[in-house]
Amino acid sequence: MLYFLTTERLGFRCWTAEDEPLAIGLWCDPQVTALIGGPWSVDAARARLAEEIDQQAKQGLQYWAVFLLANGEHAGCAGLRVYQANEKIYEMGIHLRPAFWSRGFAAEAACALIDYGFGRVGAEALFAGHHPRNEGSRQLVGKLGFSYQRDQLYLPTGLMHPTYLLKRTDALAGARETDAKSPGREFSGPTQTVTLWYEQEKLKP
């Protein structure tokens, strides 16, 4: 399987129309969509797959399909989408199958997305939000350096979701500080800090 982005354990690739069974398996799982407006129907999962494929064609971005490098097992999706184009702000999102919760995969995927967003995409900031009851996501975005912005209505749930922003300048400053504490490792980009945090703190989920 060919991946355009890899981490220690994960590979990222674009969705295709042939991935419909994977998409249905992911988004029709009531545990996966419980906090994003679920449960979803099969038609809703198919529509989401079509939307992701369309976004990749038009913007070069989507919530990409994610797999384990070790055995090719489908873990979920993780990616970026345009949030505020004029300001170069991109939304980051991760949907994992329950078997991959609380094993560090979300943090590992997030670090890769942050690096990709600031490096390849040229983002000035990354946006993230989560359900108010999702304590794991709240802890993760905090450890990754995101700053709370405000509560914002999320239409699929009808609730006010906390939202966060990670600015390029903040990520760069954090990376320099972390790099200074890690002699022998070159500073290679604005998001090295989150990679180091992942290695040192074993972030979860």
pLDDT at 66 over 80: yes
**Could you report the per-residue pLDDT of 9-28, keeping only the tens digit for each?**
999 999 999 999 999 999 99
Measured over the CA atoms of residue 69, residue 3, residue 189 and residue 80, the dihedral's sign is negative
pLDDT at 183 over 60: no
For a pLDDT cut of 70, what percent of the chain falls above it? Answer: 84
Residue found by looking up tokens 């890769």 in the block: 112
Q: Are strands 125-129 and 89-96 parallel, antiparallel or unpaired?
A: parallel
- Its domain, for residue 167, covers 5-201
Cβ contact 204:103 at 8 Å: yes
pLDDT at 171 over 90: no
pLDDT at 192 over 70: no
**Could you report the per-residue pLDDT of 130-170, keeping only the tens digit for each?**
999 999 999 999 999 999 999 999 999 999 999 999 999 98
* 112 three-state secondary structure: helix
**Could you report the per-residue pLDDT of 105-117, keeping only the tens digit for each?**
999 999 999 999 9
Q: What is the pTM of this model?
A: 0.86
Domain total of the chain: 1
CATH no. for residue 39?
A: 3.40.630.30
